[in-house]
Amino acid sequence: MQKNCWLAILGSLTMSACATTEHFVYSELLSSRSVKASLDPTVKLYWAAQPSPTFQEVTRPVIYARSGLSMSPLGGSGRHCIEGFERALAAMIQSARVHGYDAIINLHAVQEGKPSDDPAGFECKPGYKLTQVSLTGSFAMSPFAAQRAGEAEQRMNNLAPRDPATGAIFLPLEPILTSPEAKAILGPDIDAYWGAEAPAYRERYGPDEYSEDAETKAIGNDRACREAVLKILHSMAEDARESGYHLIIRIRSFLNGWSTPVSTDVECLLTEKTARVTLQASLANRKERE
């Protein structure tokens, strides 16, 4: 190794001056054994250069960044670019599957904070310790997957009556989400819909779960439950703004993975010191807005 390369490595923990930028082709990566191991036949991939069918539901583009780690004193190599690619792709596939989507469309790399304009591949310069690769794409739902999600939604909306979980109480959700405090959290740019209600939308991401606690000692059980709901609403609104959505839809109680028999109730778990609430919701954009 040349002397100046050694000096560059000793003086930096983030980038190897000896590493060279390499070009990687998606089709070649996808044919490798290691990448194939992370693929899932239930989630189809459509890369930027590939035409895709019309899907019933899509999300706004999402970005997943993962890294390959080098323990070598010589720094990273192309292998660590491939590791970052594999991990980012595996994370996207897992998230799509967990949320009920069965495809990822317009899939491509992100470079210098922008989607790559190369539809066939991407360039990567290995870092000294960490080599990060970012991928972007939109999750999509076929008519079959949308029907399956709709049937699950219908089952959830027709739950049999039950008592609250041990140590929990039911409270009406609507008065909390229509309160002045909730309106201040949502602001003029975000609308919230609870229970089974939701307007027509063109983009949707979710559902996801949010949990928060509030102390009961100073304010009592009911108010603590209310504060926990408002904390969650704040987190939902932040996620919506950061992701470019203006709707929070199908907000429902989801304590211990269970919805309430009445979709406009919230189940609040009370302990000696706190009230805990878990809500589930999706983010969306109205159909008529472009």
> Does residue 154 form part of some domain?
no
What CATH number has the domain bearing residue 86?
3.30.110.70
Q: Is 37 left (phi over 0), alpha (psi -120 to 50) or beta?
A: alpha
| 110 confidence band (pLDDT: 50, 70, 90) | very high
- DSSP percent split of the chain into helix, strand, coil, nearest 5: 30, 35, 35
| 18 confidence band (pLDDT: 50, 70, 90) | low
Residues 98 and 200 occupy one common structural domain: no
| Other CB atoms within 10 A of residue 62 CB | 16
Percent of the chain with pLDDT over 70: 92
112 vs 144, more confident = 144
Check whether 268 has a pLDDT greater than 90: yes
> Does residue 231 form part of some domain?
yes
Residues 40 and 130 occupy one common structural domain: yes
Domain count, the chain: 2
> Does residue 155 form part of some domain?
no
Q: Which of 111-120, 183-192, 207-216, 227-236 has the lowest mean pLDDT?
A: 111-120
User: In 31-171, which ranges are continuous DSSP H helix?
Assistant: 33-36, 78-98, 143-157
CB-based contact 46:106 (threshold 8 Å): yes
| 221 confidence band (pLDDT: 50, 70, 90) | very high
